Amino acid sequence: MKTKDEINAFLGVNTDFEGKLSFSGAVRVDGRFKGEITTGGTLIIGELAVIESDIKASHIIVNGEIRGNVIAEKRMEIRAPGKVFGNIQTPLLVINEGVVFNGNCQMDKKEIPEDKVLPIMLEDPPLITVPVQERKADDLLD
């Protein structure tokens, strides 16, 4: 998934961070993070990242590991070798082959604007009558 957000911050591979992280735009985490993450933007979790956090974000792309509950307001994508151990709530979830997901998922209905809904017209199928022949059970065995 391509994102319009520019990456505002980058927590590198050898970074250990504990606390509360909030931001706008996009942030990529490749190190270890423990705490809470909240954003209206995009969170990108690199392959070597280990996140022990409850997360609330608009878009989340997971290549590493999350241990905690996740709310993705628009979309969450888990790519191999990603791992998620916790519950997910999102209207759109993409899970690629080779990932680990251990938890529950709740997918809220996404409202579709009426101008994007195409009406479907169904006609009644024609009635077909098939004659039925009566047979005795003994006739079927011969």
Residue 134 lies in a domain: no
Burial class of residue 4, CB neighbours in 10 A (0-12, 13-18, 19+): exposed
Q: Which residues pair with 59 in a beta bridge?
A: 42, 75
User: What global pTM score does this model have?
Assistant: 0.72
Q: pLDDT per residue over 24-73, tens digit each?
A: 899 999 999 999 999 999 999 999 999 999 999 999 999 999 999 999 99
Residue 73 lies in a domain: yes
Residue 1: predicted pLDDT: 44
Residue 112: predicted pLDDT: 47
Handedness of CA 124, 128, 134, 139 (dihedral sign): negative
Residue percentage of the chain with pLDDT more than 90: 62
What range does the domain containing 57 cover? 7-110
Residue 10: predicted pLDDT: 75
Q: pLDDT per residue over 71-89, tens digit each?
A: 999 999 999 999 999 999 9
If one counts the domains in the chain, the total is 1
Residue 135: predicted pLDDT: 57
Backbone angles phi, psi at 11, to 5 degrees: -100, 110
DSSP at 85: E
* DSSP codes, 21-76: EEESSEEEE-SEEEEEEEESSEEEE-TT-EEEEEEEEEEEEESSEEES-EEEEEEE
Does position 120 have pLDDT exceeding 60, yes or no?
no
Residue 126 lies in a domain: no
Residue 123 lies in a domain: no
Residue 12 lies in a domain: yes
In this prediction, residue 3 has a pLDDT band, given cuts at 50, 70 and 90, of: very low
